Amino acid sequence: MFLETPETMPQTPIFSSMLGSSCSGQVQPDMGERCGDPVYQDGNLVSGSLEALIERLVPTMDYYPDRTYIFTFLLSSRVFIHPHELLAKVGQICIKHKQQLEIGSEAEKAKLKSFAAKIIQLLKEWTETFPYDFQDEKSMKELKEIAHRITQCDEENGTVKKIISQMTQNLLMTLSARSQYQEIKEKFRQPVTDKGTILKNKPQSTQKDILSICCDPLILAQQLTHIELVRFRFLRFSPFVFHL
């Protein structure tokens, strides 16, 4: 699997107070041996096995993936693995890291909250950049399962639970908006003959020419641009990836 790094990408601000200074996009030296066969070019990760790249997607106590890598991998990985399957693998790795901290020393256990914050940050970037990956029940189930596991890392003050709740709420609002948009779009997908019949049945007085509604070309162009921008919000990345 090959990765190409985009120059710009949507970014979610990291809540640094929880992640701490140890959070870095730099790949840890020992991860190469553990993950498999990543290939670098000019210091940048350009390819590797799917399992190795998934391993690098998941934060650890001392590592957080570069946000450009997160975007690039989540975008390109759907060619090789369905989002809900990727979520399941991410969840398995999260559980493994969590268990390692839980059975460690008291100092290791104290790091659980910081580890949880990094996992939440990854989920936030995923849900905000690719919200439509979570349209199906399987993906939502995997997301809730990971969220439940991570919530256990901070049961005392509930900070993690609040952040997850807000993240889920924002995701559901985005999916709801897309659902409403799809319903409206379907209403306008009538056959041309049907639309003609409707216009014929309307009284002449109710049929308006577009220039009678807006005779200023500049304002009309602005309104059309606004409509297009609203529609662009609901575009999915997947069709573009599979047609490349």
Q: Tell me the average pLDDT across 143-157.
A: 84
Q: Tell me the average pLDDT across 193-202.
A: 55
pLDDT for 195 equals 52
Are residue 168 and residue 204 in the same domain, yes or no?
Answer: no
Query: Per residue in 206-229, pLDDT tens?
Result: 556 666 777 778 887 887 887 777
Among 37-41, 101-105, 181-185, the minimum mean pLDDT is found in 181-185
Domain boundary among 145, 178, 211: 178
Looking at the domain assignment, is residue 37 inside a domain?
Answer: yes
Looking at the domain assignment, is residue 194 inside a domain?
Answer: no
Are residue 57 and residue 150 in the same domain, yes or no?
Answer: yes
Q: Which of 109, 110, 116 is nearest to 146 (CA)?
A: 116
Are residue 66 and residue 112 in the same domain, yes or no?
Answer: yes
Q: Which of 64, 56, 69, 70 is nearest to 15 (CA)?
A: 64
Are residue 73 and residue 135 in the same domain, yes or no?
Answer: yes
Looking at the domain assignment, is residue 71 inside a domain?
Answer: yes
Looking at the domain assignment, is residue 76 inside a domain?
Answer: yes
The whole-angstrom separation of Cα 154 and Cα 98 is 12
> Which run of H or of E encompasses 181?
helix 159-187
Are residue 135 and residue 164 in the same domain, yes or no?
Answer: yes
Q: Which of 25, 26, 30, 31 is nearest to 11 (CA)?
A: 25
The whole-angstrom separation of Cα 60 and Cα 116 is 9
Are residue 39 and residue 153 in the same domain, yes or no?
Answer: yes
Range of the domain at 219: 199-242
Are residue 165 and residue 203 in the same domain, yes or no?
Answer: no
Are residue 33 and residue 106 in the same domain, yes or no?
Answer: yes
Domain count, the chain: 2
Are residue 113 and residue 69 in the same domain, yes or no?
Answer: yes
pLDDT for 53 equals 93
The whole-angstrom separation of Cα 220 and Cα 200 is 26
Q: What is the pTM of this model?
A: 0.66
Looking at the domain assignment, is residue 190 inside a domain?
Answer: no
Are residue 144 and residue 83 in the same domain, yes or no?
Answer: yes
11 CB contacts (<8 Å, ≥6 apart)? 67, 125
Are residue 221 and residue 162 in the same domain, yes or no?
Answer: no
Region of 59 (left: φ > 0; alpha: ψ -120 to 50; beta: rest) is beta
Are residue 55 and residue 87 in the same domain, yes or no?
Answer: yes
Looking at the domain assignment, is residue 228 inside a domain?
Answer: yes
